[in-house]
Homo-oligomer: A and B are copies of this chain.
Amino acid sequence: MPKIDADRLIRDLRDLASIGAYRTGVHRPTYSAADMDGRRWLIERMRAAGLEPSIDGIGNVLGRSAGSGPKLLLGSHVETQNHAGWLDGALGVVFGLEVFRAFVGDASCAGLGIDVIAFADEEGHFGGFLGSRSFIGALDEAEIDRCANKYDGTGLRDALLSAGLAGLPRVVMEPGRYSGYLEAHIEQGAVLEAAGEKIGVVTAIVGSRQHRIVFNGQQNHAGTTPMALRRDAGMALVRLAAAIGERFSDIAGPATVWTIGRITLEPGAPSIVPGRAEMLFQFRDTDPAILDALSTELDRLVANVEKGPCGVELHRVGTSTPTLMDADLQVALSQAAERHAPGRHRKMPSGAGHDAQILARAMPVAMLFVPSIGGISHHHDENTSDADIVLGCAVLADAAADILKGVPR
């Protein structure tokens, strides 16, 4: 069995976290100086480990192993959300690096091929899964022309130029090279912690439907406009939001989640009846039939609002379809988890999106979760115990070895 070097693994994660350090977390937005420093650090660590590293025109860092034969691709991403945590995508990339190094040091793994990848902009500062889509050939130049930073408006072309990536070729996966892609990640929720478990084997990545719902009423003085004459856009919003809260519980599956993340009333003054209101609303599930049923119900609730005094517009601003993880790869992860943490692992959906859902279009994929302390992520308090990190990496290494060795499942 390949042997993980716990000190080396944690030291690399800490080293990478020192680049763009922010409080107890990290601020390394895509293509920022800190992000590019992180990618250069990764290239050096790959080279030192014996991989052949390269960075391409979208910022993907790929470390290729020598030798022929089928290979597994391991990785995730290294940029972070703004002012976020130290693990998130970095964990899966450094796990890949450590698994490669463990294979090198283990005779039983001689000749088993591991490539390691850090995709660019999984976090979506400029677009949606730019790096992984580029890698499978699903990102065209016209889209790159259109993309811009969602916080400061910088065009993607300008950002690539500043980062020194303009003019580099984009690397598309070599056909037939990979028998699968494995991505380790922090859970970003509290399910494992609440159950005292150590490993989550992901069954599917949820699909999501995102909406911007706009309510149009009439702005008025809040003291002088009788209730009967009002067209209060804010109250129309509140009624829909409350109805969603009541109705969705009846239709949802056990793992469905739905969230109103933002509400805005305009003009937003204490003594003015809101003339316009807006909410951002999304729901997620692994089952397309449940997503469809929820969409139908949302349409019905919105139509009810239209019977009131305010206009309403339902904008569908984003959709992703659920992605099933490969059954054989899941079995390999579960068997390895059972060896390292008997009875303390579970199958579970991923509520967040990951590069694995893009790679699934091109090869079998699977994912492994380690516990998130307090369920916190995208925040500088994000953390996982060192012991759980090391355990997760050992499970990943074992599973990768089994898969490449063709151990019967």
Q: Which residues of A contact B (CB under 8 A)?
A: 187-191, 194, 206, 208, 210, 219-227, 229, 232, 234-235, 238-239, 241-242, 245, 249, 252, 255-265, 268-274, 280, 282, 284, 350-353, 375-379
Which residues of B have CB within 8 Å of A242? Answer: 238-239, 241-242
| 22 pairs from A and B in contact (CB 8 Å cutoff) | A188-B221, A189-B220, A190-B225, A190-B229, A191-B224, A208-B223, A220-B376, A222-B284, A223-B257, A225-B257, A238-B238, A238-B245, A238-B260, A259-B270, A259-B273, A260-B265, A260-B274, A261-B269, A261-B272, A261-B273, A262-B269, A271-B282
Which B residue's beta carbon lies closest to that of A256?
B227
Task: Tell me the minimal C-beta distance from A383 to chain B in angstroms.
Answer: 14
A262 and B257 contact, Cβ closer than 8 Å, known pairs A223-B353, A242-B238 = no
Which residues of B have CB within 8 Å of A261? Answer: 222, 234, 265, 268-274
Q: Bound state CA distance, A261 and B187, in angstroms?
A: 38
Where chain A touches its partner, the secondary structure class is mixed
Query: In the complex the two chains form, is B223's CB within 8 Å of A284's CB?
Result: yes
Which residues of B have CB within 8 Å of A375? Answer: 220-221, 224-225, 229
A265 and B265 contact, Cβ closer than 8 Å, known pairs A351-B221, A375-B224 = no
Which residues of B have CB within 8 Å of A191? Answer: 224, 226, 229
Query: In the complex the two chains form, is A222's CB within 8 Å of B282's CB?
Result: yes
Closest 7 CB pairs of A and B: A189-B224, A223-B351, A242-B242, A222-B259, A224-B351, A223-B352, A188-B224
Task: Tell me the minimal C-beta distance from A150 to chain B in angstroms.
Answer: 11
Q: Bound state CA distance, A232 and B244, in angstroms?
A: 14
Which B residue's beta carbon lies closest to that of A376?
B220
Which B residue's beta carbon lies closest to that of A186?
B224
Task: Tell me the minimal C-beta distance from A210 to chain B in angstroms.
Answer: 6
Which residues of B have CB within 8 Å of A260? Answer: 234-235, 238, 265, 274
Which B residue's beta carbon lies closest to that of A262?
B268
Which residues of B have CB within 8 Å of A280? Answer: 270
Which residues of B have CB within 8 Å of A273? Answer: 259, 261
Which residues of B have CB within 8 Å of A271? Answer: 259, 261, 282
Which B residue's beta carbon lies closest to that of A273?
B259
* Residue from the set A261, A272, A379 with the largest chain B CB neighbour count within 10 Å: A261
Which B residue's beta carbon lies closest to that of A218?
B375
Query: In the complex the two chains form, is B235's CB within 8 Å of A350's CB?
Result: no
Task: Tell me the minimal C-beta distance from A219 to chain B in angstroms.
Answer: 8
Which residues of B have CB within 8 Å of A187? Answer: 224
* Residue from the set A208, A219, A221, A241 with the largest chain B CB neighbour count within 10 Å: A221
Query: In the complex the two chains form, is A226's CB within 8 Å of B255's CB?
Result: yes
Q: Bound state CA distance, A220 and B261, in angstroms?
A: 11
Which B residue's beta carbon lies closest to that of A225?
B189
Which residues of B have CB within 8 Å of A225? Answer: 189-190, 257, 351, 375
Task: Tell me the minimal C-beta distance from A252 to chain B in angstroms.
Answer: 8
Task: Tell me the minimal C-beta distance from A123 to chain B in angstroms.
Answer: 11
Q: Bound state CA distance, A245 and B239, in angstroms?
A: 8
Which residues of B have CB within 8 Å of A282? Answer: 222, 270-271
* Residue from the set A206, A222, A269 with the largest chain B CB neighbour count within 10 Å: A222
Task: Tell me the minimal C-beta distance from A358 to chain B in angstroms.
Answer: 16
Which residues of B have CB within 8 Å of A226? Answer: 189, 191, 255, 257
Which residues of B have CB within 8 Å of A284? Answer: 222-223
Q: Bound state CA distance, A221 and B284, in angstroms?
A: 12
Which B residue's beta carbon lies closest to that of A238?
B241
Other A-B contacts than A189-B225, A221-B352, 16 sampled, CB-CB below 8 A, are: A188-B221, A188-B223, A188-B224, A222-B257, A223-B257, A223-B352, A226-B257, A238-B260, A259-B272, A261-B272, A261-B273, A262-B265, A263-B263, A270-B282, A271-B282, A272-B378
